[in-house]
């Protein structure tokens, strides 16, 4: 008799993938995102994720809903050490070995994990654990490079790591906010407040590709982000579509820096590993396409 699969918590990071036409502000359809990721898989593109490391999509499967529409793509991805046959050093002879070659196509230190891509929310999620320590900024770098290689000539891809909202809450609740720098780029509209939508619409209408905001305090007076529609909206938008960095004075009167990039959003689901894809998809739709950007569990 087969041993029943155990239920437990599974954790994952969220990457926001945004596909658009270079000369249009129109959001592209889920079908366009599906084609983009299928092309990435079919062409076996691997790209740098961090120094000496590359990533690649190993397998990709469709999951369809009751109307025969693709609800999500899933499979496994790998990160490995990318070695090129150049100059090898022999510890026995203490000399260069000009004859040694690693067989073509073989790379060491591979780590493999599950992923889910939800076209309706344009979010790429991958599982992490004590044995799987691929950083979200590594996956962001891989996807940004690889997807821009396979997209159409008139398209462009932006990729961002979803940040935990606690990072901007820490900025807004600081005893004193001395300096704030925010960088945001193009977004596909998600749920959000009016100020965030105002900034995102303005970015699109201006044909801007990337905005950068810098604000510094007046002497002895803390910045008041909540009084500024632009800063409030940009800070909210940076959670999914950019980064923010703040210099604050904490409750112990110590100067601290808060970077949203240090707070990637880690979510969890509870169930069996065989249900990971379904449960992640449900949660992503609930967060980004249902009742707003809920707090993390």
Q: How confident is the model at residue 206 (pLDDT cuts 50, 70, 90)?
A: low
What is the SS3 assignment for 79?
strand
At 103 the pLDDT is: 74
Residue 190's pLDDT band (cuts 50, 70, 90):
low
Residue 186: band (very low, low, confident or very high) from pLDDT cuts 50, 70, 90: confident
pLDDT reading at 292 higher than 60 = no
Token pair of 272, please? 């069996």
In the chain, beta strands by DSSP E: 8-21, 46-50, 53-57, 61-64, 70-81, 88-90, 95-97, 111-118, 123-128, 155-161, 176-185, 210-216, 242-249, 255-259, 266-271
pLDDT of residue 293: 44
Lowest mean pLDDT among 88-97, 161-170, 232-241, 276-285: 88-97
Greatest Cα pair distance, the chain, in angstroms, is 73
- Among 243, 179, 186, residue whose Cα is nearest residue 210: 186
Q: Which tokens in the block code for residue 227?
A: 């009084």
* Residue 228, helix vs strand vs coil: coil
> Residue written as tokens 């041993």?
3
User: What pTM does this model have?
Assistant: 0.88
pLDDT in tens, 2-50: 677 889 999 999 999 999 888 877 778 999 999 999 999 999 999 999 9
Least confident piece of the model among 32-46, 138-152, 196-210:
196-210
- The percent of residues in the chain predicted with pLDDT above 70, rounded, is 90
Q: Tell me which of 87 and 129 has the higher pLDDT.
A: 129
Q: Which helix (H) or strand (E) holds 230?
A: helix 229-241
For the record, the structure tokens of 118 come out as: 């939800």
Contact in structure between 40 and 148 (CB atoms under 8 Å): no
Q: What average pLDDT is seen over the chain?
A: 88
Q: Name the residue ranges covered by the structural domains of the chain.
A: 8-162+264-288, 166-262
pLDDT at 295: 38
Answer with the residue of higher pLDDT: 91 or 285: 285
Give the model confidence (pLDDT) of 243-273 as tens digits: 999 999 888 889 999 999 999 999 999 999 9
Mean pLDDT of 62-74: 93
- Mean pLDDT, range 148-159, rounded to an integer: 93
pLDDT score for 289 = 80
Say if residue 291's pLDDT is above 60: no
Number of helices (H) and strands (E), helices first, in the chain?
6, 15
Q: How far apart are CA 203 and CA 294, in angstroms?
A: 25
Q: What's the CA gap between 222 and 227, in Å, rounded?
A: 12
Altogether, the residues listed in the chain come to a count of 297
pLDDT of residue 125: 98
Q: Is 277 left (phi over 0), alpha (psi -120 to 50) or beta?
A: alpha
């Amino acid at each position: 008799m087969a041993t029943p699969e155990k239920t437990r918590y599974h954790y994952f990071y969220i990457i926001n993938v945004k596909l658009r036409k270079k000369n249009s502000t129109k959001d592209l359809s889920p079908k366009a995102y599906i084609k983009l990721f299928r092309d990435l898989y079919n062409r076996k593109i691997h790209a740098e994720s961090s120094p000496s490391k590359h990533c690649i999509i190993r397998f990709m499967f469709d999951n369809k809903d009751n109307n025969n529409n693709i609800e999500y793509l899933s499979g496994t991805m790998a990160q490995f050490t990318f070695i090129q046959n150049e100059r090898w050093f022999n510890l026995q002879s203490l000399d260069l070995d000009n004859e040694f070659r690693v067989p073509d196509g073989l790379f060491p230190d591979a780590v493999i994990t599950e992923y889910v891509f939800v076209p309706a929310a344009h979010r790429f999620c991958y599982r992490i654990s004590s044995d799987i320590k691929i950083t979200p900024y590594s996956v962001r770098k891989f996807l940004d490079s690889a997807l821009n290689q396979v997209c159409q000539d008139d398209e462009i891809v932006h990729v961002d790591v979803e940040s935990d909202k606690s990072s901007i809450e820490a900025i807004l609740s600081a005893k004193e906010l001395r300096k704030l720098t925010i960088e945001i780029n193009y977004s596909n509209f998600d749920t959000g407040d009016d100020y965030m939508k105002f900034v995102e619409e303005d970015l699109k209408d201006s044909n801007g590709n990337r905005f950068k905001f810098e604000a510094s305090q007046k002497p002895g007076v803390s910045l008041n982000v909540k009084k500024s529609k632009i800063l409030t909206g940009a800070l909210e938008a940076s959670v999914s579509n950019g980064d923010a960095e703040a210099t604050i004075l904490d409750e112990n009167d110590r100067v601290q820096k808060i970077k949203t990039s240090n707070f990637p959003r880690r979510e969890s689901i509870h169930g069996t590993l065989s249900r990971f894809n379904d449960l992640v998809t449900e949660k992503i739709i609930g967060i980004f396409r249902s009742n707003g950007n809920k707090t993390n569990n």
